[in-house]
Amino acid sequence: MPGFEIFGAEEKQQVLDVLDSGVLFRYEFAAQRKDVWKVREFEQAFAAYTGATHAQAVTSGTAALKVALAALGVGAGDEVITQGFTFVATWEAILDCGAVPVFTEVDLTLNMDPADLEKKITPKTKAIVPVHMMGAQARIEEIKAIADRCNIPVIEDTAQAAGGRLHGRHLGSFGAVGTFSFDAVKTMTTGEGGMCITSDEALWRRMSEYQDHGHDHAPNPGGRGGEGRPFIGFNYRMMEIQGAIGLAQLAKLDGIVAAQKTNKAFFQEAASVLPGVRFREILDADGDSATFLTFMLPDSERTTAVNQVLRDEGVGAVRWSENGWHYYPNWEHLLEGKTYCHGGWPFSAHGKRRIVYDPQALPASAAILERALTYQVPILLADEQKTKIAAALKKAAQV
């Protein structure tokens, strides 16, 4: 991780195909494009790879969440449950629909705790968004069973877990929709870009229309602009160059995951020298995309001391309790209701505060994440770097 580590001739040739056609837009221009339809081809290939029947490419993983929520009819006054350890995009998309994010604890998978999920469901809950955080499986089978009993659709945020599986089934294919990110630091990348997958044709059609201003994409003699528009939409269209890069990266994805598994095994063995270390719970090691190695130490003080040694040695780990992008207590803009909107939307409406968050609301998650350290697992890992990391962890074991 990320896929740009292995950019090569395949990506270049795919992009040259687009440039030679002279068409960057994913729709229309059939006479000019020399039968080059990279985004369409990427969608078909990604759907086949994940076992879904349909895929809809969009501009980002954030856009994928927004498109999925919109296609499921989520809007103002609704509640959407997600987890308190995720990238901010998950709840930004929920707020952007006018809905209210409700946060659950995570367990030792570092993903949604199904027991806490059951406590958070109300009559206002219109979707559940578990996150396969850092490339490893959420308890998606348990979550889906709970959701099905309550007749609530599940959107799998699979932004960080392309190539991951659970018991042979691709992550993202369990819920009504699976969303993926292909941004610059993802396992496979198109620079920016995202994908929604589903096996519900009607839901796919709504996503296809919504991401292109509501156009129905039915053939018509008037060409572009002559389509019907069954509802309003927005512009989240992927461009052909992104689709081209995606095709080349998708072809390499299984090889990327295999390389990461080898390198993750090195990180785990190296970290095993730490007294009292415990590793993140992985539900299916064979299906792990192996993008990160996370370990927990006995207490916060020990975690601080160990990571200080690692930082001093130039190989510091990510400590999530210090991270402002992924950790609920550090989302000050959410907790303080910061917005540019004059009326305070989405935190306030009609002069009244509609959402208030307690920074201490997820104590179980905090207790885990304050003890957690994480290494991002690269695709390419030089022997010199391995030696440096292993030596630093041995030194940290002595503190």
Catalytically annotated residues = 186
Mapped onto helix, strand or coil, the DSSP state of residue 183 is strand
194 forms bridges with which residues in the sheet? 58, 181
Name the residue among 260, 267, 331 with its Cα closest to residue 85: 331
Rounded to whole angstroms, how far apart are CA atoms 207 and 57?
Answer: 10
Rounded to whole angstroms, how far apart are CA atoms 25 and 39?
Answer: 9
Measured CA angle at 337 (ends 335, 343), to 5 deg: 170
Tokens of 66: 């927004």
Residue that has been written with the tokens 């819920």 in this structure: 175
Tokens of 150: 């309550």
Compute the CA torsion angle 144, 146, 149, 150 (nearest 10 deg).
-100
| Widest CA span in the chain | 75
Name the residue among 182, 294, 302 with its Cα closest to residue 244: 182
In sequence order, which residues have a C-beta less than 8 Å from that of residue 326 and are 6 or more positions away?
85, 86, 87, 88, 320
Burial string for 350-386 (b: 16+ CB within 10 Å, else e) reads eeeebeebeeeebeebbebbbbbbbbbbbbebeeeee
